Amino acid sequence: MWAGYLELAKPRIVALITFTALVGMLLARPSVPPLDLIFWSSLGITLAAGCAAVLNQVFDRRIDEMMARTRARPLPTGRVSEWQAILFATVLGVLGMVTLVLFVNLLTAVLTFGALIGYGLVYTIWLKRATPQNIVIGGAAGAAPPVLGWTAVTGHLDPNSLNLFLIILLWTPPHFWSLAIARRREYARAGIPMLPVTHGVEYTRTRVLLYTVLLTFLTVVPFLTGMSRTIYLVSALFLDGAFLYYAVMLKIASRADLPMKVFRYSINYLMALFAAFLVDHFW
């Protein structure tokens, strides 16, 4: 039973969210923020992210039942009931908001709540089913964690935190569209208007490449604005080069394995890029 609850919260995705939020916290100050503030901020953001993940699975239960990638999740298999999942999401969300209000600051709590609603409700219930640009628009909620981490330790918004936000925002389309290419038939059966379903695979491959090029330019901005230094720049250009290689190959080759290779690399790319921020900051 507990394993089912843990799976509902999408621990791998939540871990990536928490990591990017932690990077925002550590970059916001020249030295390491107080450890208790890091702990409470990370806990509150993690709980809220878990709440959004559970809500996503509650509202996507019908879709998950129709897709091979998701039909083994707790709700489609009956390991956790819908009402149990809703109760679990409520507990996570309330605890997360209370933690942020009491131990962090109100601004971070408000922004986190907005991101939770944006992903758990607006994206899942409306955008995902309404437009093939669902990932582009809904990606704003998924790009929020570094900003949340930044405000958690400073109490205010900062242009440098928006650099991190924009990086994740532009990373999101090539990340998800490569997966959508691989799973396009399942999305079509489920009636979800993902870009390769509505506009075709070739069109989507082009958009993956274009967004990857834009992402490459954007990752140089932190160096140009003085937010980061040479270690970050060299790491970013190396990671961008590999991402561009995969995106170009996806565009010009018709190999069936390439979409999932791009998808998997994109996850490693984001983790490595944000790790490079930290190494550069504290070296």
Q: Do 25 and 139 fall within a single domain? A: yes
Residue 22 pLDDT exceeds 90: yes
Domain that holds residue 80: 1-157
Q: If we measure between CA atoms, which residue out of 241, 220, 229 comes closest to residue 278?
A: 229
Q: What is the pLDDT of residue 190?
A: 86
Q: Do 168 and 274 fall within a single domain? A: yes
Residue 2 pLDDT exceeds 80: no
Residue 161 pLDDT exceeds 70: yes
pLDDT in tens, 170-227: 999 999 999 999 999 999 988 899 999 999 999 999 999 999 999 999 999 999 999 9
Token pair, residue 228, equals 């980061």
Q: Do 46 and 95 fall within a single domain? A: yes
- Domain end (from 137, 157, 177): 157
Q: Do 182 and 72 fall within a single domain? A: no
CB atoms within 10 A of CB 271: 16
Q: Do 111 and 204 fall within a single domain? A: no
Q: What are phi and psi of 208, to 5 degrees?
A: -60, -45
Domain with 66 in it: what CATH number? 1.10.357.140
Residue 254 pLDDT exceeds 90: no
CA distance 187 to 153: 40
Q: What is the pLDDT of residue 1?
A: 58
Q: Provide the 8-state DSSP code for 200.
A: -
Lowest mean pLDDT among 77-81, 97-101, 258-262: 77-81
Q: Do 92 and 70 fall within a single domain? A: yes
Q: What is the pLDDT of residue 241?
A: 98
Q: What is the pTM (predicted TM-score) of this model?
A: 0.94
Q: What is the pLDDT of residue 47?
A: 97
CA distance 28 to 20: 12
Mean pLDDT over the full length of the chain: 94
pLDDT in tens, 83-135: 999 999 999 999 999 999 999 999 999 999 999 999 988 888 888 888 888 88
CB atoms within 10 A of CB 252: 10
Please state the rounded mean pLDDT for residues 230-258: 96
Q: What are phi and psi of 178, to 5 degrees?
A: -65, -40
Query: In the chain, what percentage of residues exceed pLDDT 90?
Result: 77
Q: What is the pLDDT of residue 6?
A: 82
- Domain end (from 89, 122, 157): 157
Q: Do 128 and 253 fall within a single domain? A: no
Total number of domains constituting the chain: 2
Q: If we measure between CA atoms, which residue out of 95, 236, 249 comes closest to residue 178?
A: 249
- Domain end (from 134, 157, 180): 157
CA distance 241 to 250: 14
Q: If we measure between CA atoms, which residue out of 139, 138, 201 comes closest to residue 170?
A: 139
Q: Do 130 and 146 fall within a single domain? A: yes
Q: What is the pLDDT of residue 10?
A: 87
